[in-house]
Chains A and B, each alone.
Chain A
Amino acid sequence: MSNIAVADRNLTFDVNAVRRQFPVLARLIRGRPLAYLDNGASAQRPAAVIEAVDDYERHHHANIHRGVHTLSQEATALYESSRDRLVEFINARSRHEVIFVRGTTEAINLVAQSYARPILKPGDEILITHLEHHANIVPWQMVCEQTGAKLVVAPIDSSGDVHVEAVVSLMSPRTRLLACAHVSNALGTVLPIRRLIAAAKARGIVTLIDGAQAVSHLHVDVQELDCDFYAFSSHKMYGPTGVGILYGRERLLECMPPWQGGGEMILAVTFAKTTYNSLPNKFEAGTPNISGGIGLGAAVDFLLGMDRDAAHAHETALLEHATKALGKIPGLRIVGTAKEKASLVSFTVDGVHPHDLGTILDEDGVAVRTGHHCAMPVMDFFKLPATARASFAFYNTFEEIDRLAAGVERARKLFV
């Protein structure tokens, strides 16, 4: 299996050519080449994204949707063309369904406050899973507190898998919303969201998918998924920080009140009454992150311009290689062994605290995440305070993973 994947990679995917497009990958850290294995926290940017932002800042900056002057028109055209590319990227039905937000966290908060809060009654239920990121837990806890609704948590098994039957058995006549991750940030689990969405839909339950960890790895088609909301962040898909997307079904977005008031989201304001703007601007109060939105558009172009199937095959081969190389190390336990995983490995090493491991790996230029990954309930489930997590992008190499494994061995020798 691994050999086939590697052979495919050599035929269609030139990792060195891809790496040359990411300037930061040429950096040295403490004299060693950077091995950036923290893509789950934030991916690096290709030159195309950096140049798009730079070009905008140097030549086209002005406020958007405001002026009749040349710069404002250029900035508006650039920003709105980014929206068009995002419509294509996730196959939304129209640009009315693609809302620019600050990131996944803001997207989920928007749905919690603007969709859920007005409809929830005491005793209503919101269903999530045990492996969610805090950003897909806390906004629901807040809205439950505000409305008297109840948060219901579907279990995971010891491999970190979510079983459809376990989730479905918790769907009740009071369930108003199912909110779950597409891919777990702490464990790598790919959730069976097609079946979860279908089961929810059959019961009239609205669905929100946290796609923060998915869009960089998987092809996402919101019409095919048939979800009601899909949230993701630019910076995890090779775009700038501070911008992200909420996809929402137009019928639902139309009925939702704006969640922030200000400029841009209005048509007319008098002190007696304000007429709200139409979609998508109704949800985009204030001057947005214009350069970030333009950079995100460039990131979409970058992704759509590459052979994504070949990139995915390479990431799968990286995951297999890492699972094998790390699995050989005595005392190393891989946390999260779901049947279908995105390319990340969470792990612990007996006698070596993840934080110490992170420092020792950094000495070798290897960047990994250590800690609870903003998923404390997952850590509690596995009875761990923290793990180390190596998360791969298509620009990573087998050699970088070998350096990771060697660094882990080095840490073991120091502490054990």
Chain B
Amino acid sequence: MELNDLYRDVILDHNRRPRNFGGLEPADASVEGFNPMCGDRLTVRLKLEDDRISDIRFEGQGCAISTASASLMTEAVKGRTRVEALQLFDRVHELLTDDAAPPADELGKLAALSGVREYPARVKCASLCWHTLASALRSTEPHSLPAVSTE
């Protein structure tokens, strides 16, 4: 495993120039995610229209993996329904943790995160934004769970 496989150009690019970065007012859901192990912190805000994510933005501070993962996530879920977004989370989770995960064409640019699974200590960096998104989506349901942590 080479570092270049972890820090692929897509990751470096999204770390340098994170997409959909910043606040979103007004938002239908806003949830802060926190990784106490490394101090990474990010807030995901989103708008829903007819159960579809019509807009999503994030802000916070984190390592390159966490920032790029959040940036890629916002691009990938915009326009998807709540259920589709959560299904995508499952696929990303497999990609990050399961060596036997089949190559996932439908993941598109998110596939750039596959190098992370060789670095178990970094899986939480890549998944923090997704846990936060899942929590944000659930918070728009009747039984809401406001805070999320990867510890």
Contact = CB atoms under 8 A, between A and B. Distances in A.
Interface of A: 353-356, 359-360, 363, 370-372, 376, 379, 385-386, 414-415
B38 interface: yes
A355 B15 contact: no
A359 B39 contact: no
B119 A359 contact: yes
B37 A385 contact: no
Given A353-B62, A415-B15, 12 more contacts: A355-B38, A355-B65, A355-B122, A355-B125, A359-B119, A359-B121, A379-B39, A385-B38, A385-B39, A385-B40, A415-B12, A415-B16
A414 B7 CA distance: 9
A370 B121 CA distance: 12
Contact of A363 (B3, B16, B62): B3
B14 to A, nearest CB: 12
Contacts of B61: 385
| Of B37, B38, B65, B121, most A-chain CB atoms within 10 Å | B38
A contacts with B: majority SS: helix
Given A359-B119, A385-B61, A372 B6 contact: no
B12 A360 contact: no
Interface string B36-47: 011111000000
B38 A371 contact: yes
A148 B3 CA distance: 52
Contacts of B15: 415
Contacts of B38: 354-355, 370-372, 385-386
B31 to A, nearest CB: 19
Contacts of B125: 355
A363 B119 CA distance: 11
B63 interface: yes
Contacts of B62: 353
Contacts of A385: 38-41, 61
Contacts of B3: 359-360, 363, 414
B63 A355 contact: yes
16 contacts: A353-B62, A353-B64, A354-B38, A355-B122, A356-B7, A356-B64, A359-B3, A359-B6, A360-B3, A371-B37, A371-B39, A372-B38, A385-B41, A385-B61, A386-B38, A414-B12
